[in-house]
Amino acid sequence: GLRTVLDGAFAEAGIRPQIAFEASEPYFLAELAAHGLGVTILPLPKARLHGDRLHVIELTRPSLRGQLGLIWRTDGSTSPAARALVAHARRHLAQRTRTEAAE
């Protein structure tokens, strides 16, 4: 996901990052940076959660976009929690699509 997009962007820019720590948990990555152990790249909403302790710089070039897929069974039953998640995702994605179309 995100790592593949970042690796591609660095390679395209001719940059070879020096990676000392790797983790997949955004909170842990932010903690490493907060303790002076380097920098981290997080999705902007996650980075903003730590803005009181970290300096957040939004990366705008290159535009880093990834895709996230939500899949579920089409046959058989789904739990109430799964149905609620799918309904929430559909509402959020429909709202985001309308917002992006207006821009």
3-state secondary structure of 94: helix
The residue count of the chain comes to 103
pTM: 0.53
pLDDT score at 103? 62
Instruction: Retrieve residue 80's tokens.
Output: 């109430």
Residue with tokens 């089409």: 74
CB 88, CB 96: distance < 8 Å: no
In tens digits, what is the pLDDT along the chain, a chain of 103 residues?
A: 677 888 888 898 898 988 877 887 888 888 888 888 888 888 888 888 888 888 888 877 777 666 667 777 778 788 889 889 888 888 887 776 666 656 6
Show me where the domains of the chain are located. 2-49, 69-102
Rounded CA separation 59/63 (Å): 7
